[in-house]
Amino acid sequence: MTVGSQVKGCFSSIKSIEATLQTLAAKTADQEQQTAFKQVEQIISEVKNDLQHQVIQLTKDEPQYK
């Protein structure tokens, strides 16, 4: 497995985690838990954005990782 495919796989996993956290936040009735889910989802979203930039950079720098 190449570095590019590993990074892309990680990016996909992060997107899935983000979606799950959004779902959990929407389903919980406890305000404290909902706030916690939203805070973690925001952090995961930042990580996802950074990772997306890394995928783009890898694709530009290393054409074999497309």
For each successive 10 residues of the chain (66 residues), what is the average pLDDT? 84 95 93 94 95 88 66
Closest to 28 (Cα-Cα) out of 16, 40, 19, 37: 37
| Residue 3: predicted pLDDT | 81
Given a contact cutoff of 8 angstroms between Cβ atoms, the answer to whether 28 and 34 are in contact is yes
State how far the Cα of 20 lies from the Cα of 12, in Å rounded to an integer.
12
| Residue 49: predicted pLDDT | 95
| Residue 66: predicted pLDDT | 53
| Residue 65: predicted pLDDT | 53
| Residue 10: predicted pLDDT | 93
